[in-house]
Amino acid sequence: MKVFNIKQLIIAFLMVFMSVNSYSQITKAEIIAIGLTCSMCSNAINKQFKSMAGVESVSTDLNTNTFTVNLKKNSSLSPNALKESVEKTGFFIGSMVLTVDLGSIETKDNLNVKKGNGTYVFVNPADKFINGLVKVKVLNEGFVTKKEYKKSEKSLVKYLSFSSPDNTYLIKVI
């Protein structure tokens, strides 16, 4: 009888453990917006970010058009959600650098790391072990300038099969 109760307890524990949501643990996003002409333009983007549910704070550098978005702990916001937020205001992203916790992994070229509702694919990393928070630049089309994407498009050809789903991000550790 004890063995049966222990088995039930273990199964219940595993079910609870597996049902816990896993988030990508993006803690900060540094976004350079292009097309801004005045402080009112940056104010529109700032308000858009602040209205998002998972955003803790937003700071703006008007000289570089950089928005630093600090996310709440366990926020489920994806890079696509941040990109769409900028595009809603009529502007585009010139660069997106994320501070993200991908866990303890050894980076390798074309390595896929699934976190939360997204998949991160490493592009030409130095083979090294990372643990904890790391800064990565998103290289997908729409996350860098058109000029930069066109310049790197030939080198990204081998990753294109991975970049087709919406929540797959080509990243480079910086």
Residue 116 confidence (pLDDT) = 78
The domain limits of the chain are 22-173
> Of 12-21, 63-72, 114-123, 162-171, where does the model show the most confidence?
63-72
Q: What percent of the chain has pLDDT over 70?
A: 83
**Rounded to 5 degrees, what are φ and ψ at 98?**
-105, 145
Please name the residues in contact with 165: beta carbons below 8 A apart, sequence gap of 6 or more: 119
Residue 15 confidence (pLDDT) = 42
pLDDT band at 6 (very low <50, low <70, confident <90, very high): low
Q: What does the mean pLDDT of the chain come to?
A: 85
- Look up the pTM and report it: 0.82
Tokens of 132: 């904890």
What is the fold, at CATH topology level, of the domain defined by 22-173? Alpha-Beta Plaits (3.30.70)
Q: Is residue 60 within 8 Å of 46, Cβ to Cβ?
A: yes
Residue 21 confidence (pLDDT) = 39
pLDDT digits (tens, 9 = 90+) for 78-111: 999 999 999 999 999 999 999 999 889 999 998 9
pLDDT digits (tens, 9 = 90+) for 19-29: 333 445 899 99
Q: Is residue 121 within 8 Å of 111, Cβ to Cβ?
A: yes
Please name the residues in contact with 125: beta carbons below 8 A apart, sequence gap of 6 or more: 107, 108, 109, 111, 172, 173
Cα 109 to Cα 113, 141, 158, distances in angstroms? 12, 19, 11
Instruction: Round the CA-based radius of gyration of the chain to a whole number and report it.
Output: 19
Q: Each residue of 107-123: b (16+ CB within 10 Å) or e?
A: beeeeebebbebbbbbb
pLDDT digits (tens, 9 = 90+) for 27-55: 999 999 999 988 899 999 999 999 999 99
Asked if pLDDT for residue 7 goes beyond 60, the answer is: no
Residue 146 confidence (pLDDT) = 94
